[in-house]
Each structure stands twice: as structure tokens, then as C-alpha cells.
Amino acid sequence: MKNNLRNLYRLLPLLLLSALYACEKNKLDASAVAPEISGVTYLTNREVQQASVNYGDWIIIKGKHLATTYKVDFSGVVAADSLTYADDTSVTVKIPPTLPAPADNPITVTTKYGTATYNFRILQPAPEILSVEPMAGAANQEITIRGYYFGGVTSVKFGDTPAEIVSNTKEEIKVKIPAGITTAYITVTTPSGTVQFSKIFGFKYEVFTDGLPAGWTYSPSSANVTYDATVTTPVRRGATSLKVEFKAAWSFLRLVKSVALSTTGYQGLKFSMYAPDNFLNKKVRIYLNGSTAATYTITVAKTNEWIDYQLPFTNFNNPATITQIIFNEFSGTTTFPRQIYVDDIGLY
């Protein structure tokens, strides 16, 4: 009996150690579980699960067994370690600014004990249009739309008329002008939304393309301004542009209509202007019919590129007719000669 008690006393520490080990092992086994993802919320609203979020957003990934997270990727693009914070039920992370897909970008969380993938819509920002070139043309002619976030483009329209998409990247779309378009605003639609370009495409009435039409003439203010309508470079559209060279301050070139043109049915004046380096920070004033009571002044902030202008008639006190369009040197400085190039002048 005494021997049995002695043996029991000897075994007791081992039994206690074994029990403690089993308990700790059970705890480790409980934590050594692959992660699970149950949803995504914003930091500002942690209770409402989102159906989609955007590139670059801060989000909270909800789930279980997330404490040992050491990597979060979105369609293979890994989030920065410094922008990832995890506990057992959530991972706070900033989505990278660009992802492979325009909409569907699965989230994969990797922990010490496994991975979990959650199919989720992470959208690129709404599209942005920076330029359309050229800003007028004939049916079936190809034009180029440049901007940002064009991935997954679903449609391009001229007004309500769909255009044929020839090709597209995330920053450029080539389309063909639909038949029957005189003037129209261009819209681009992606999974993230629709954007309309701020300037209208096309002309209702053309004043200068590769020269003036019948009934229009050039009229310099004096010998201090010259013009050349046969310049082949730079050109915005067509074969030639109009070079206007100012040789003195305040000089100007008039485009004169022999018979007044009614503005009924038109909204404003459109043209494109190109300024070389010597016109940087200088001014050009635009006005109609010889009246300086209402004018539009351009201060040249960009050189060596075509800039498109769309000026509603409200800038010119809503004239009932047009007899003159004037391009006026308006800096008043003494460094001459200086020149500008204008092209695609007309009414919309």
C-alpha cells in the first residue's frame, strides 16, 4: 500500500504537467485556424457592410482568426505593411491606388495559419476626360479621348448616340464619330460611372478650318499685325492653321463677315489656340463686332500645345448678330514680334 502511494506521488507531477500541456495545446489548436472573411466596412461606418468600395480607400476587413495577418492583397497587388493593422476579428488596411481590374478585385488575407479570399467589388474612380482630339470631324472619322480611369469602358456616346469603340486603355479611348452628329457632348461610361466632357464636340457653323468661307475676309488693324492662313504646322485639324503675328502692343486681327450672321440657334464661339514660348504669361483678348464693352481675355499659361476654348455668347453681351471676330494682343509689353496660331474657329 505504501509503495502504491509512493508511486502515485511520483507520478502526480507528471500527470499535472501532462494536463497543463494538453490544455495549452488545445488553446494553440484553437488559435491555429485558417482565417475567415465575412465582409468589408468603412472606418467611418464600421457596422454597415459595403457592396463595393474604391481604389485607395481605407477599409476594415471583418472576419475571424485574423490576428496573425502579415499580407493583404487585392487582385495580386499587395497593400503596404505600414498601412495594414490586424486583430483577431478585423484587418484595417488602405487599398492601393491602382488595381488590375476596373471593378472586381478579390481580397486575399494571408495569416500565419492560412489564407482566405473574398470576392469583392473594388472600383476604380469615376472616369475623367482631359481632352478630345480633334474636336470636330466627319462621320466615321476616328478621334482620341484622353483622360484617366477608362478601364472597363462600356460605352462612349455623342449626346444619346453610341459611338463605335476602336480601342481603349486606362488613359485613352479611340472611337469613330457616329453618323448625323453636328454638335454633341461626349460621355464616357465605365463600371464606376459616367462623365461628360466639358466642351461640346463639333460645329454648327464653321468660320475657319483650312481658310475662311465665302463672305468672310481678314482685316488687320494696321501694318503692326500680319497673318498667314497657309501655315502647315502647328495645325489643330485639317491641313492649315491661321498664324497671327503681332508686331506692336494692342494690335489685332479681325475676321469680318460681309453680311451680318444671326446668332439665333447658336450658343457661342469655339476656337483652338496655340502659343509659342514667347507668349507665355501674355494676354490675348477676344471680342465681337468691334465692341470692347464685353470681351474675353486669355492669359497664356501653357505654351507649345493646342488649347480649346468654348465661349458662350454671354461673355459678349449676347449679340443678335455677328459681323466681326477679333483676336487682340492685350499684354501691352514691348517685346515683339510675337505670334499665336488659331484653328477650328466656329459657332456651336
pLDDT tens-digit map of 34-89:
999 999 999 999 999 999 999 999 999 999 999 999 999 999 999 999 999 999 99
In the structure grid, which three cell numbers stand for residue 275, read together?
502659343
Residue 266 Ramachandran class (φ > 0 left, ψ -120 to 50 alpha, else beta): beta
pLDDT for 27 beyond 70: no
Taking 90 as the threshold, does the pLDDT of residue 113 lie above it? Answer: yes
pLDDT at 222 > cutoff 70: yes
- Which amino acid, 17? L
Who has greater pLDDT, 17 or 253? Answer: 253
| pLDDT, tens digit, 9 for 90 and up, residues 122-165 | 999 999 999 999 999 999 999 999 999 999 999 999 999 999 99
Query: Over 80: is that where the pLDDT of 17 sits?
Result: no
Could you check whether the bond before residue 337 is cis, i.e. omega within 30 degrees of 0? yes
pLDDT tens for residues 185-200? 999 999 999 999 999 9
Q: Give 316-331 pLDDT, tens digit per residue.
A: 999 999 999 999 999 9
CB 88 within 8 A of CB 103: no
Segment 282-309, tens digit of pLDDT = 999 999 999 999 999 999 999 999 999 9
**What's the Cα-to-Cα distance from 147 to each of 132, 140, 279, rounded to whole Å?**
9, 22, 27
Lowest mean pLDDT among 9-18, 34-43, 309-318: 9-18
Residue 30 has pLDDT above 60, yes or no: no
* Residue from 195, 175, 174 nearest 185 by CA: 195
CB-count burial class (<10 Å; 0-12, 13-18, 19+) for 254: buried
